[in-house]
A and B are shown apart, each in its own frame.
Chain A
Amino acid sequence: MFLTDDEKRMRDGAEGDAVAAAMDLLIRYGFALEAERLCDIRNVAGTMTQPSPVKARLVAEGGWDKAFAVINLDSDLDLSIPSMRVPTCQLQQGFGPDSVDIVPYPPANVALQEDAESFYGRHGVNILATCTPYQVGNLPLRGEHCAWMESSAVIYANSVLGARTNCEGIASTGAASLTGKIPCWGNHLDANRHGTHLISVQGLRVENFQDWGLLGYFAGGVAGEDRPVIVGSISRPDLTELKHFGAAAATSGGVELYHIPGITPEAPTVSAAFGGDAAVPSAAVYSPAERRAMYETLNEIGSCADVDFVLLGCPHASVDQIRRTAELLDGKRLSSSTELWIMAPRSLKVVADRSGYTEVIERAGGRVLADSCPAMSRAAPAGTRVFATDSAKQAHYLPAILGIEAWFGTLEECIDAAVTGRWNGELN
């Protein structure tokens, strides 16, 4: 891989051992990718604070410097970690102190994470604590090169914002934060941003949150790690619908970039979505039969209709989703056997608190929680056996992570389950 003189200086230790270790990781990673060079970035979204057993052991052995060296730089050296070289944010993490009486989550993790926030805050990490940094002020520009992880954020940044990032990991974002560099490979290059698969919606209209999630789950299955282009009978989506669509496509497949001609920025037309001169492939049809098949796949883990737990806000909820939840719960009371959590970025929870939505949800017996989610923290209400969600991503992952059954439906069906304790959802 070609290195500039500056990059060679970093590799050789001119900016300290930690930066040299970061450059060493980027060189190993660039080799693995067969990247020709690195590109300059000024926007990193990674994860450092999230507690784990391995991290707790490393911190006990050598403090946060050691934990960052091993986990975020993949280095065995004793390093002193400098301040972040470029703007860097923490994605979703574990639960915080305000969750202690609500979420069964180890107090030692809460304490470890508070310690981490203090360390990383001093080193210039913005503790956004959300899987949706684009909802809370981290909005890269079109064409901007970034180093982001979190598959649902990566697909949003590439597709909806037109920024350029691969689906990075903990070590590559750690190395990027100390160098401002990332391999110039994959989604960073024009030639790799054109559509590969055409999906045509026919015989139904995709126009609500659930349907965008089902279509995303289908698109991931069709396109795998490639780039679907969506055409046909769709309404104009909003942020929450594309947040759900992208998270689902990145779950059933490995989609990091899609185009919706006329809506997303790099695809003014179908032809442009496929790169202008390339032939447009024949379409995979998404009809009522495919829609039902996706719905049934997401619901195949569920057999018991007694719902213990309703989980909303995956990816982290928008203010509008919190407001809708409050509207549906206003004047109601949750079943005594059911809990309801809606996950949100902390800064949007502040808006929900101030707007009175949190109070309405709490009066009904529900909770608005920040920073984390049951999947990230492996934590659900005690005794949960069956959960319901409006998120295709959570319906896919949580059964594996927590060993529980899942129901996937609309927000209205989830609220009904929370109030009655029974699942009555069906595909309309």
Chain B
Amino acid sequence: MLNQYLVLSAILFTIGTAGVFVRRNLITILLSIEIMLNAVNLTFVAFGRALGSADGQIIVFFVMTVAAAEAAVGLAIVITLFRHKESLNPDSFTLLKW
């Protein structure tokens, strides 16, 4: 049973990673990061259940808090970038290229 949960979380993690690399919209990239964090949460809870300790859930608690903080700051950065360039495509922010 643990294997099935781990396979599911691996699939979700892969989907999140593919989303980060493929999509050209800053908000969808942030959403794919959230998918990856959720896959990791599922792994933690599954292992916590298999090993019979509540530590997995505590770590999930902290991961969720960090994800919330990161989403807030990430979205603030997206808003600032949008105000400068009126575009959400990461390919249009090329000022630092030589």
Q: Indicate whether A and B interact.
A: no
Using a CB–CB distance below 8 Å, which chain A residues touch chain B?
none
